């Protein structure tokens, strides 16, 4: 009981809460007029490409309803592609398409071209962007590195690295579970796995309630695994952060089995759940790292 009280009282010294994140960090380090560079994935990708930051290839962008058919005709020559709302958040509105013998599949479900264009139209109408009109993005499909399949076979796991002034603070690996239905987001039932930044190894996996040493569905070990291309990923995240005028960023990366680490997107307001995945408050790290760097 006493320990719990002590922990509760110590919490606000180590953990970064929403209020403090918004006021002391985001407000101070990110200019509002620059938000769109991160919030609009089409703009962000333009910056990636300009700075030669490794990222999935953009096959095409639809801005207006009248362009849907023409762009679709162009991009549908690819056998695998991903459709994304440019301003979507939390993985909503993402459709992953595979073509087998002339038939499109979304995951394992067959879909008609009519259903696909309907989905694109919904993106444009702002269904996934709080009613704002939006753009639809067509991207190269990323084939996950076999490292991920050695933990759990389904979905596309990604890394999230939080950086302040282009200095990596904290990272986690987000991994789907049976419950999360292929999605890797923490509040959709995915796992958040903390990352030991120095060693480049995985910590425990957090499922929103409990910590696990192994993947709860597959039983494969997680804790202590060495992350492939970790140094490369850190370097890529720093390179990306430097390309943006935004100083506090959450950068999402994936590892393609052939092309290696790639940046998927950047976030201006990265979630705070990463502290739970790492069992470590961000506030201590922010203080420690900024002081160390600033005094250099």
Partner 1 sequence: MKAYRITSAILITLPVLWVGLRVISNSTQFGFADFEQHYEMEYDFTVRSQGDYWLKTYLPQNSERQTVVFDERLNPQSVSSLYGNEVAIWEGSNAGLKKIEFGFKYTARPVSYNISDKIFYTPEFDKTYAKSLIDTDYIQSNHPEIQLLAQELKSDAIYLTDVVKALYQYVYNLPASATNELTDALTTLRNQEASCNGKSRLLVGLARALDIPSRMVGGIIMEKSQKKTSHAWVEILVNDTWVPFDALNGHYASLPANYLQLYTGDHFLITRSTGITFDYQYEIAERRANTFAKFAPINLWTLIEEQNIPVNMLRVLLLLPLGALLIGILKNVIGFKTIGVFLPVLISIALIQTGIVNGLVLFTITIIIVSILNVPLTRWGIQHTAKLTLMMTAVVAVILTTVLILSKTNLVAASTPLFFPFIILTLVAEKLARTIDEDGFKTAIDMYAQTMIVTLIIGFVLNSKLLQDFLITFPEIIISIAGLNLLLGKWIGLRILEYRRFIKTQNA
Binding site for partner 1 (CB under 8 A): 4, 7-8, 10-12, 14-15, 17-20, 23-24, 92, 115, 118, 121-122, 125-127, 131, 187-188, 206, 211, 272, 275-276, 278-281
Element (H, E) at 109: strand 109-111
Neighbours of 25 (CB within 10 A): 20
Cβ neighbours for 182, distance < 8 A, ≥ 6 positions apart: 107, 154, 155, 176
The label of the residue with tokens 């789907």 reads 176
Q: CA 188 to CA 177: how far, in whole Å?
A: 10
Distance of closest approach, residue 256 Cβ to partner 1, in angstroms? 28
- d(Cα 133, Cα 122) in Å, to the nearest integer? 10
Q: CB 19: neighbour CB atoms within 10 A?
A: 8
Closest distance to partner 1 from the beta carbon of 74 (Å): 24
- Cα 160 from Cα 192, distance rounded (Å): 10
- Cα angle 38-42-48, degrees, rounded to a multiple of 5: 70
Nearer to partner 1, 12 or 79 (CB): 12
Q: CB 279 → partner 1: shortest distance, Å?
A: 4
Nearer to partner 1, 50 or 210 (CB): 210
For residue 247, what is the DSSP state? Answer: S
Is residue 263 within 8 A of residue 240, CB to CB? The reply is yes
CB 136 within 8 A of CB 128: no
Between 35 and 211, whose beta carbon lies closer to partner 1?
A: 211
Q: Are 171 and 195 in contact (CB under 8 A)?
A: yes
CB of 118 to partner 1, least distance (A): 5
Minimum distance from CB of 14 to partner 1 (Å)?
Answer: 7
Of 100 and 209, which has the nearer Cβ to partner 1? 209
Select 52 or 66, whichever has its Cβ closest to partner 1: 66
Query: What is the smallest separation between the CB atom of 259 and partner 1, expressed in angstroms?
Result: 31
CB of 47 to partner 1, least distance (A): 29
Q: Which is nearer to partner 1, 19 or 296 (CB)?
A: 19
CB-nearer residue toward partner 1: 162 or 253? 162
């Amino acid at each position: 009981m006493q320990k719990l009280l002590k922990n509760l009282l110590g919490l606000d010294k180590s953990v970064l809460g929403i209020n403090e994140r918004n006021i002391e960090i985001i407000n101070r380090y990110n200019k509002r007029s620059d938000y769109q560079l991160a919030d609009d994935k089409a703009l962000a990708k333009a910056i990636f490409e300009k700075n030669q930051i490794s990222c999935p290839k953009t096959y095409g962008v639809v801005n207006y309803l009248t362009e849907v058919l023409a762009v679709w005709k162009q991009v549908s020559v690819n056998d695998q592609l991903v459709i994304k709302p440019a301003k979507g958040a939390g993985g909503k509105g993402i459709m992953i398409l595979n073509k087998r013998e002339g038939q499109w599949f979304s995951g394992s479900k067959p879909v008609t071209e009519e259903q696909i264009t309907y989905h694109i139209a919904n993106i444009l109408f702002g269904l996934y962007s709080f009613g704002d009109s939006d753009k639809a993005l067509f991207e190269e499909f990323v084939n996950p590195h076999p490292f991920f399949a050695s933990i759990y076979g389904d979905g596309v796991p990604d890394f999230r690295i939080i950086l302040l002034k282009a200095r990596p603070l904290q990272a986690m690996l987000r991994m789907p579970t049976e419950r999360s239905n292929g999605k890797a987001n923490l509040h959709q039932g995915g796992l958040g796995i903390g990352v030991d930044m120095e060693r480049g190894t995985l910590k425990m996996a957090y499922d929103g309630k409990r910590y696990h040493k192994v993947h709860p569905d597959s039983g494969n070990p997680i804790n202590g695994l060495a992350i492939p291309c970790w140094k490369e990923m850190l370097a890529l995240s720093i390179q990306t952060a430097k390309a943006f005028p935004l100083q506090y960023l959450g950068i999402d990366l994936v590892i393609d089995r052939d092309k290696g680490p790639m940046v998927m997107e950047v976030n201006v307001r990265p979630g705070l759940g990463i502290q739970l995945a790492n069992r470590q408050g961000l506030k201590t790290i922010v203080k420690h790292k900024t002081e160390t760097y600033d005094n250099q």
